[in-house]
Amino acid sequence: MANGFSLATTAEPEVANSLVKGMSIVFGLMLVIGVGVGLAGFFIGHEHIFNNTREVPWGLLIATYAFFAIMSTGLCLLAAISHVFGGNNLAPLANRMVWISLITILSAFTVIGMEIENPWRMAIYNVISPNITSNIWWMGTLYGLALAFILLEFWLILTRHFALALALGILGALAEVAANTCLGGVFSTLAARPFWYGAQLPVYFLACAFLSGAAAAILFTHYAYLLRGRAMEPHVLAGVQGAGKILLLMIVLVTVATFWRMASFYVGGVTDGRIAADALYSGPLAFNFWGLEVGVGLAAPAFLLVVTRMKSVWAMSTAALMSLVGMFVARLDMVVGGQIVPQYLGFDGLPAYLDYTPSGYEWLVVLAGIGFCGLAFLQGERFFGKSFTEHAAH
């Protein structure tokens, strides 16, 4: 139909094969179990199932929230750019990127909702008692606005109101950028945490958003075609290769930013910042940093993309997956690294580093976010698949 929405015009029944059904059950179970654990924490007490302490109050769930939220920002920005300028290689990926941006921000909210002790109070007092001097208030408000804009944009894409969808997409991208920088500001304005303090994190998060968004665009597009058991059309392949070029560029930029951020702790500043950096270089977070964040997340994907010259979809998809793993670990390293140096370091009886290891319950809540993302992706391909191939009208 010219306007309006009907599943008959967007659904792809052939996607509902045994593989998709089986994977949907697995992701659905991950979601149910993770949310169940999170809900149990409200009654048992977060302090009994999560390994956060008064000294290390933020842990795996904050890192996971940041990971999904930053990815959503990157996808929203890339989709908006491809829609605004049109006629570019990324255009065939844009509608799917809007959907993935929507489900990743919902995944972020799912995880943070299980982490906050009283999320209903946050929702209420965010409206009736706003604190406009708080980065956290702005972050939550702006991400909420972004969610509304992206949801409306996707609905307008489904109903083929492309001009209005473009306007909402631009508003969503602006809200996401503002929210993303406020997320960086939550950390970078805490002078008591030298590992976080400074002007770099908001811009660094934006670079990570483009990296994560490009990686997710490659990965989910490839998986979408694997589900259908067919090869990519030439124009879609060109779009994936375009995303691969963005991914490689952002890997280089994030690598440079990571180097200078870590090097800066050894040429000035307070001792606590250098000790926190030591935790990543040679301390308890060294394997995470060198092996996963740098090795798996930056060096290996860059090598793979350069060697294959982005001619292999499998190579690009593998590089994208490794980059996302690296981004996830990078968020965990940043969150934990900023807290494990004792605030009163040097007093008798204090360890060099505080201990934090995520509990099994925390990992189950993380699986809820992954489960929601995977389930929504599969069902999106099932019910909206035909809309993901329409881009000429934009």
Beta-carbon contacts of residue 174 (< 8 Å; ≥ 6 apart): none
Q: Residue 120, SS3?
A: helix
Residue-level pLDDT at 178? 96
Alpha helix locations (H) across the chain?
Answer: 7-10, 18-44, 46-49, 60-85, 94-115, 119-128, 135-158, 162-188, 200-228, 234-264, 271-281, 286, 300-308, 313-337, 360-384
Q: Which of these, 314, 241, 228, lies nearest to 93 by C-alpha position?
A: 241
Between the CA atoms of 170, 203, 328 and 286, what dihedral angle is there, to the nearest 10 degrees? 170
In a 10 Å sphere around its CB, with 0-12 CB exposed, 13-18 middle and 19+ buried, how is residue 310 labelled?
buried
Alpha carbon of 51 to those of 57, 334, 357: distances in Å?
A: 9, 17, 7
Per-residue DSSP letters for 319-387?
Answer: HHHHHHHHHHHHHHHHHHHTTSS-TTTTSTT--SS------HHHHHHHHHHHHHHHHHHHHHHHHHGGG
Question: What is the DSSP secondary structure assignment for residue 132, as one 8-state letter?
Answer: T
Residue-level pLDDT at 1? 44
**CATH number, domain 12-343+351-389:** 1.20.1630.10
Can you tell me the distance from the alpha carbon of 209 to that of 58, in angstroms, rounded to the nearest whole number?
21
Pick out the chain residues at pLDDT < 70. Answer: 1-4, 390-394
pLDDT in tens, 248-280: 999 999 999 999 999 999 998 788 999 999 999
Domain ranges of the chain: 12-343+351-389
Residue-level pLDDT at 83? 86
Residue-level pLDDT at 2? 47
Beta-carbon contacts of residue 22 (< 8 Å; ≥ 6 apart): none
pLDDT over 90 percentage in the chain? 82
Residue-level pLDDT at 274? 94
